């Protein structure tokens, strides 16, 4: 795969109203305990009588004993808050049943049965947005990971595959469009304004891929012809006013379908493919078979309301969910421990797709930035886990960057070792061997191993060991030989104190100092604790470029002089490595400056390297914008054992101001040049918009009022959201009249457009303004703010957690604000609430004073009664 306040006591704390027992830890689920389900369900028929307040669900399950499982006298059907109305077995009322918590246990004596189960649910009251719920008058579902049990009683696990037939009956005026998985096989009208539709999905699927949507929607329609000549009807369903903003999503879908055929040989397998955009959604999107349900954020776009980044994200997420048709749907997970089987592989597929559609180099840098800012801290904190976990208590907490992003990097390493052609042979074998099955990560690795002819026995450690390997690098020179000493250490993580060396592929190149050239790169393997490689033919010590293209998700630790980093920042022919050299140059200086001991001449060297980047005509503006970016505060904090966010933030801002002053003329000229480029979606225009705003950020640090004037002018003349939002981002951090005027204009211009107003909240909550805490408090009381919509809650508070001067305020007020949010949000939407906990959970890596304040807030959350399983697990693991 993404509010009306809770009634509370006079002091605003809903948890003080009623005393309750301490929350009980949810049971631990262990991978080693997996056993096949004792029953098969070849066919499932669902009949829905739809209503916003009451929906009746009749489930008819054809069941038979599983010959590969232990025989059981009962069948456990998972439920969650369901009201059981009727239960029949083989057309007779069933008396041999009991409830075990929320689950229904039915006693069955024979080998084949038909169960008929009638339940009633209230979609309108479902604020958790799991199962069947209401969203602004429409009905939709979200069933991954365990939402189907909120619809009807069923063995809600991914290895129970069934063929679904779905009938929906609903008032036609209220729900004119009725959609489900598969192909529509019938429609009709009944008396009293009712109508119905029947959908049949011929491909067996697990319950988490079930989907239903009913509402007043319109569609952008198109058609795609597959490589075998089959015509597929495409439709993107939205509310009427949103239809004009779906063209980009449709084009992205067709590009995805073409790319998957050409690159992986995967052809679509139904007559129709539907996408529905939903305003209330916990995740980004969901790959339900033939009926993808999307957060509106990843469907709706036009130049007036969406940035270049939004357009790219929509294309990537559309591709991701479509690619799941094979890597997730046709081959699904045996159990939730195998989640990276589908998510890691599909993230790699969407990354490769986006690389092919745009700039491969820029996309790679962007993907690594996300990995380092989110997954690396996760891997070094209390929530660290392998990409194939050994246990969990609440599966929704394992939809993590480790599963998705690190999982993709692990599979990318296999591709790097095999090469694209041999890797394709491995994936072909995987799809052929496991089509229609619930598979495991081991099944995937074995297919790549055999198809690509690789020995991956040692490589399997990447699936079982948590933590980011640290690779120490030392280059020496004697005579005409350069010697490269490599060693590795995998740090201890919760539950894994001892680690084995990992196989680490590294692309390297050695550059001649005189010519600035290398003789090409090679792939070397570090597959032991340490090794030394020798390279002949170097009259003087070369300059090493290592982990080019970020071949492996590791931390490189090396002693390298500032002059060599500046050399690589100017000369490296690998775009990622060039960006890395610039980042390393800056990181070294900022950490020294934050520690109070900046090296003499460091800022001059950085300014010199950046000046070369600004005037290098061989670099396009998209790459120039990447090279201009300073490392984020979160990444910088992750480079030290105990970070002081205040000092790191101050050092970063001081460097920005220094660079803005030293390069003022060049930056103003760059902004002026960029502003003159007419709007288009081509790379040159996108790059111009990118560097124009980057120039403003430096000027804002060195001369805020001058930058405010330039930003206000950019805002006023903008004919697209990218320039307008970039200008407002800069203005949001400056205390000026232009700030207030443009924020008000932005709100008035886009009032009623939920996605753009989300931007308005985020821009203020993530700003560098010293009063950001007070701004967030004021915004939380804004009439447009609600905790019941995950996008809106994240737009304010998740943005705020990234502010070092706000969230990490020395007073601890930022920590208290997020803890208050978690306690208020948890009973409304537990999944969304739990995702805010990791920001507080990194207290072990923060200096002592702030760490104590963070831990205090975690303990306050843990002590609250009635916590959800999601939040309880995250908090207790964070506390340790």
Active-site amino acid positions:
321
- Secondary structure of residue 405 in the 3-state scheme: helix
Coil, strand or helix at 332: strand
CA distance 236 to 619: 38
Q: Determine the angle formed by the axes of helices 575-594 and 360-370, rounding to 10 degrees.
A: 30
- Spatial CA neighbour of 512 closest among 520, 522, 503: 520
- Angle ∠(470,476,478) on CA atoms, nearest 5: 160
Beta strands in 394-480 (DSSP E): 438-439, 470-478
Q: Which two tokens stand for residue 279?
A: 């305003």
Instruction: Give φ, ψ of 308 to 5 degrees.
Output: -55, -40
Contact between 275 and 299 (Cβ < 8 Å): yes
Find all residues with CB under 8 Å of 820, minimum gap 6, and list them. none
- Residue 433: count other Cβ atoms within 10 Å of its Cβ: 16
Could you tell me where the DSSP H helices lie in 683-812? Answer: 683-702, 704-717, 721-732, 737-750, 754-765, 772-780, 790-793, 799-800
Alpha helices per DSSP H over 643-682 = 645-662, 664-675
Token couple for 209: 């891929």
If one counts every other C-beta atom within 10 angstroms of the C-beta of residue 488, the result is: 23
Q: Are 66 and 113 in contact (CB under 8 A)?
A: no
How many other C-beta atoms are found inside a 10 Å radius of the C-beta of residue 523?
13
Alpha carbon separation from 47 to 50, 61, 97, 132, 135 (Å, rounded):
9, 12, 22, 13, 21
Cβ atoms of 878 and 841 closer than 8 Å: yes
- The strand pairing partners of 388, in sequence order, are none
Cα 815 → chain centroid = 23
User: What separation, in Å, do the N-terminal and C-terminal C-alpha atoms of the chain show?
Assistant: 29
With both helix axes pointing from N to C terminus, report the angle between 683-702 and 308-323 in degrees, rounded to the nearest 10.
Answer: 130
Measured between alpha carbons, how far is residue 37 from residues 70, 76, 208, 334 in Å? 8, 9, 16, 11
The pair of three-digit structure tokens given for residue 731, joined into one six-digit string:
């203005």
**DSSP 8-state assignment for residue 864:** S
For residue 502, the Cα-to-chain-centroid distance in whole angstroms is 26
- Compute the radius of gyration of the chain from its Cα atoms: 28
Measured CA to CA, the distance from residue 604 to residue 598 in angstroms comes to 12
Residue 105 is classified by DSSP as: E
User: Burial of 826 by CB count in 10 Å (0-12 exposed, 13-18 middle, 19+ buried)?
Assistant: buried
CA of residue 556 relative to chain centroid, distance? 25
C-alpha to C-alpha distance for 209 and 144, rounded to whole angstroms: 7
The span from the CA of 841 to the CA of 832, in Å, is 16
Cβ neighbours of residue 613 closer than 8 Å, sequence gap 6 or more: 569, 582, 619, 624, 627, 628
Task: Give the torsion sign (CA, 201, 206, 209, 211).
Answer: positive
Q: CA 44, CA 204: separation in Å to the nearest integer?
A: 10
- Which residues are bridge partners to 660 per DSSP? none
The answer to whether residues 677 and 839 touch, using CB atoms and an 8 Å cutoff, is no
Dist CA 424 CA 55 (whole Å): 46
């Amino acid at each position: 795969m993404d509010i009306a306040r809770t009634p509370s006591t006079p002091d605003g704390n809903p948890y003080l109203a009623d005393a309750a027992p301490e929350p009980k830890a949810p049971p631990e689920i262990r991978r080693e305990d997996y056993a096949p389900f004792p029953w098969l369900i070849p066919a499932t028929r669902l009949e829905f009588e739809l209503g916003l307040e009451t929906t009746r669900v009749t489930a008819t399950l054809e069941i038979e004993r599983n010959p590969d499982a232990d025989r059981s006298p009962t069948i456990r059907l998972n439920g969650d808050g369901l009201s059981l109305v009727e239960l029949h077995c083989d057309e007779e009322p069933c008396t041999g049943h009991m409830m075990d918590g929320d689950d229904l246990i039915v006693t069955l004596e024979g080998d084949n049965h038909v169960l008929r189960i009638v339940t009633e649910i209230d979609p309108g009251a479902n604020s958790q947005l799991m199962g069947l719920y209401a969203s602004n008058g429409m009905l939709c579902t979200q069933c991954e990971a365990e939402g189907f049990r909120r619809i009807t009683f069923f063995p809600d696990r991914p290895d129970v595959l069934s063929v679904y037939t779905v009938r929906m009956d609903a008032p036609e005026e209220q729900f004119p469009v009725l959609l489900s998985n598969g192909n529509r096989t019938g429609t009709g009208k009944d008396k009293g304004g009712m109508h119905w539709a029947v959908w049949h999905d011929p491909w067996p699927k697990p319950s988490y891929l079930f989907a239903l949507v009913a509402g007043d929607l319109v569609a952008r329609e198109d058609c795609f012809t597959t490589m075998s000549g089959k015509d597929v009807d495409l439709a993107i369903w939205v509310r009427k006013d949103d239809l004009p903003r779906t063209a980009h999503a449709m084009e992205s879908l067709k590009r995805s379908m073409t790319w998957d055929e050409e690159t992986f040989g995967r052809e679509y397998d139904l007559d129709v493919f539907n996408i529905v955009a939903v305003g209330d959604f916990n995740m980004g999107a969901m790959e339900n078979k033939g009926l993808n349900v999307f957060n509106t954020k990843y469907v709706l776009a036009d130049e007036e309301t969406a940035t270049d980044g939004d357009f790219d994200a929509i294309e990537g997420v559309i591709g991701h969910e479509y690619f799941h048709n094979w890597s997730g749907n046709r081959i699904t997970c045996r159990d939730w421990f195998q989640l990276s089987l589908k998510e890691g592989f599909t993230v790699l597929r969407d990354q490769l797709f986006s690389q092919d559609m745009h700039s491969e180099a820029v996309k790679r840098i962007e993907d690594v930035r996300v990995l380092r800012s989110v997954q690396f801290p996760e891997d070094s904190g209390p929530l660290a886990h392998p990409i194939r976990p050994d246990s969990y208590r609440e599966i929704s907490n394992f939809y993590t960057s480790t599963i998705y992003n690190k999982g993709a990097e692990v599979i990318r390493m296999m591709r790097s070792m095999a090469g694209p052609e041999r890797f394709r042979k491995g994936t072909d074998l995987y799809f052929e061997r496991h089509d229609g099955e619930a598979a495991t990560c081991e099944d995937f690795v074995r297919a790549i191993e055999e198809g690509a002819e690789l020995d991956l026995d040692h490589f399997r450690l990447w699936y079982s060991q948590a933590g980011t390997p640290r690779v120490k690098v030392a280059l020496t020179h004697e005579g005409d030989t350069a010697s490269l000493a490599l060693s590795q250490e995998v740090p201890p993580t919760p539950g894994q104190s001892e680690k084995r060396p990992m196989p680490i592929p590294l692309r390297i190149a050695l550059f001649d100092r005189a010519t600035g050239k290398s003789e090409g790169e090679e792939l070397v393997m570090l597959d032991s604790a340490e090794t030394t490689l020798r390279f002949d033919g170097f009259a003087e010590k070369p300059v090493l470029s290592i982990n080019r293209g970020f071949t492996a998700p590791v931390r490189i630790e090396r002693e390298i002089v500032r002059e060599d980093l500046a050399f690589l920042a100017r000369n490296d022919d690998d775009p990622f490595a060039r960006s890395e050299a610039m980042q390393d140059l800056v990181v070294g200086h900022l950490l020294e400056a934050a520690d109070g001991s900046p090296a003499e001449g460091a800022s001059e060297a950085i300014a010199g390297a950046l000046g070369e980047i600004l005037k290098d005509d061989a670099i396009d503006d998209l790459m120039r914008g990447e090279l201009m970016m300073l490392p984020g505060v979160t990444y910088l904090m992750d480079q030290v054992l105990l970070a002081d966010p205040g000092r790191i933030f101050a050092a970063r801002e001081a460097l920005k101001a220094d660079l803005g002053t030293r390069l003022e003329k060049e930056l103003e000229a760059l902004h002026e040049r960029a502003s003159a480029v007419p709007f288009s979606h081509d790379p040159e225009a996108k790059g111009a918009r990118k560097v124009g705003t980057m120039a403003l950020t430096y000027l804002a640090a060195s001369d805020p009022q001058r930058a405010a004037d330039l930003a206000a002018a950019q805002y006023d003349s903008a004919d697209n959201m990218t320039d307008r939002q970039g200008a407002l981002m800069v203005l949001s951090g400056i205390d000026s009249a232009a700030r207030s005027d443009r924020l008000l204009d932005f709100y008035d211009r886009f009032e009623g457009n939920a996605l753009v107003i989300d931007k308005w909240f985020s821009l203020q909550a993530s700003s560098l303004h010293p009063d950001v805490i007070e701004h967030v408090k004021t915004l939380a009381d804004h009439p447009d703010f609600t905790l019941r919509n995950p996008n809106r809650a994240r737009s304010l508070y998740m943005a705020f957690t990234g502010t070092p001067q706000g969230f990490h305020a020395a007073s601890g007020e930022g920590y208290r604000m997020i803890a208050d949010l978690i306690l208020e949000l948890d009973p409304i939407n537990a999944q969304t609430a739990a995702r805010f906990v990791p920001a507080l959970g990194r207290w072990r890596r923060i200096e002592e004073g702030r760490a104590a304040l963070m831990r205090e807030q975690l303990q306050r959350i843990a002590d609250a009664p009635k916590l959800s399983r999601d939040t309880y697990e995250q908090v207790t693991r964070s506390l340790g």
